[in-house]
Amino acid sequence: MRIMPFFKRPLAHIVWATLLLSAMSPLTVAAALPDFTQLVEQAAPAVVNISTSRTVDEKTAGKSFSLPNQDQLPDIFKHFFERQFPQQKPRQQGPNPKLQSLGSGFIISDDGYLLTNYHVIEGADKIIVALSDRREMEAELVGSDPRSDLALLKIDADQLPYLTLADSDQLKVGEWVLAIGSPFGFDHSVTAGIVSAKGRSLRTETYVPFIQTDVAINPGNSGGPLFNLDGEVVGINSQIYTRSGGFMGLSFAIPSNTATSVVAQLRDHGEVSRGWLGVQIQEVSQDLAESFGLDKAAGALIAQVIEGSPALDAGLQAGDVITSVNGHEIILSAQVAHFIGALVPEEIALIGLVRGGENIYIKVVIGALPDQVSAALGAPEQGQYLARIGLRVASLPADKAKAWRIGHGVEIIEADQGVAQELGLQAGDVITSIANQRIESVEQIVGLVAQLPLHRSISLRIVRQGRPLYVAFRLNQ
C-alpha cells in the first residue's frame, strides 16, 4: 500500500494553512489593509457641515415637514438627508415656522468655493456652512444643477484648506474608497469600502453615470466627498438604495468628472448646458439583436428620431443601433445619455451605428438639451414611478378619457414589481381612486401613495378597457 506523505494530504493543507495564519502577527495582517489615518488627517479639514432653513407657510406647517418635491421621489431611492427623516423639523411654531435640515459639503478652492448636493440646499432661504475650525458662515448660492444634483456655494473667506477633484474615469471597480460627512449630524464621520460598480443609471437621474459603492452612507452624508487612496475626490455622495431609510450596502456617488464640468459652467455662466442628440432609444434584447444582425445584445436601438433634432439633421434613422459615441462602446442604452449629455452644445460627436447589418459612422453636431426634455422630444410623458406599489403613472390621455367615459384618473404606463404584480395591474389601466380618494393628477397620487399606511387594507379602483374594478392591497414597508 502506497502511503502519501503527510504534507501532501488534503487535510495536511488545511493544517499547514492554519499554522501559517496563526503564526502571522496582527501587524502583518493589518499591513495588508489600507491605512486611512493620514488621508483623513489631511482631507477632513476641508469637509464642512451645511445647515439650511426655509420658511414654510401656515398650511404646510400643519402637515408633516418635508422638502419640496419630496413626494415625487421614488421611496426606494431616497436622497439622503432631507428626504422624510426626523432631522427635518420646524425650528419654531407659528404662522411662519422655519424648516431646518443638515447635510455635508467640501471646499474646492482656497477662496471659499464649496460643492454639495442640490437637494441639500433646495428651497433654502439661508445656508450656513460650519467649518472644521468651528467657524460658521452664511453661504451664497452661486448656481445649482438639479439634473446632476449638484450645487456650488461661496463663502467670504480665504486661505482655506481645499480638496482636489480627481479623474473619476481612472477609478476601478474593487478600488478602496472613503467617505467623510455628517451622518445624522455626527460631524466628520469616516466610513470606507470599495467601488462596487461604475456607470450606474438610476430612475431619478438620467444624465449621471453614478459610482456605486458599499461605503456606509446615511442621512447627512449627502453632498460629502468620496475619496480615493490618494486623498483626491472621486465622487460626491448623493443617493442610497434602501428599503428601510438607512444604509443597506448600496450607495451612489456623482463622479468627480461630472462635478468638474458642472462647477466650471456654474462659475462661468451660473447654469449648466448639456448636449442633446434628439432620439428615443431602447435596450437591445437578444431577439432584437438577432433581428438587426448584431453579434450580441448590446447598443441602443433608435425607436424614433425627433423632428428638428441634431440626429435628424445628421441623417440618423429609426432602426439604427448606436454602438459607440466618440469611441466609447455602448453596451446599455442609458450610456448614450451619459456620453452625449457630457458634451458641449455645438461639439461634433462621432456616432457608431449598425444599419442594415453594416457598421457605419456619422458625425453629429450636438445640440443643447432643452429645459423641458419630454416636450422637446415630442415623446410620450415619462410619468412618475411609485416605488411603494411598483408602477409608473402618467396623465390620463384625452382620447382614452373620452373613449372610456372617464372624467378623472391617471394611466399606468409600467407595472413591474411588488403590489402592482400581485394585483395583476397592467400598462394601459387607469387608476381613478386610491384609499377612497378620487385621483385627479399624477402629483396627487404621488402624494397619496407616499402617505399610505402600513399593514392596513387599501382600496384601489381601476378601469380596464372601459370596465371599472375595485381591488385591495396592503403595504408592508
Catalytic residues: 119, 149, 222
Nearest partner of 413 among 433, 442, 439, judged by Cα: 442
Rg (CA), the chain: 26
Residue 429: CB partners within 8 Å, gap ≥ 6?
411, 412, 415, 462, 463, 464
Strands (E) in 313-429, as ranges, are 321-325, 328-329, 348-355, 358-365, 367-368, 384-386, 391-395, 410-415
Pick the closest to residue 342 from 207, 196, 152, 175 (CA basis). Answer: 207
- Exposed/middle/buried for residue 381 (C-beta within 10 Å: 0-12, 13-18, 19+): middle
Q: How many C-beta neighbours within 10 Å does residue 176 have? A: 16
Which three-class secondary structure state does DSSP give residue 186?
coil
Please give the grid coordinates belonging to residue 67: 422638502
Strands 410-415 and 437-438: unpaired
Of all helices (H) and strands (E), which one includes residue 391? strand 391-395
Contacts of 266 (CB under 8 A, 6+ apart): 142, 143, 144, 145, 150, 152, 272
Burial of 50 (0-12, 13-18, 19+ CB in 10 A): buried
**Taking a C-beta distance cutoff of 8 angstroms, is the pair 175, 195 a contact?**
yes
C-alpha cell at 189: 464621520
3-class DSSP assignment, residue 290: helix
| Residues 117 and 144: beta-carbon distance below 8 Å | no
Q: How far, in Å, are 121, 434, 444, 455 from residue 472 at the CA level?
A: 39, 9, 19, 12
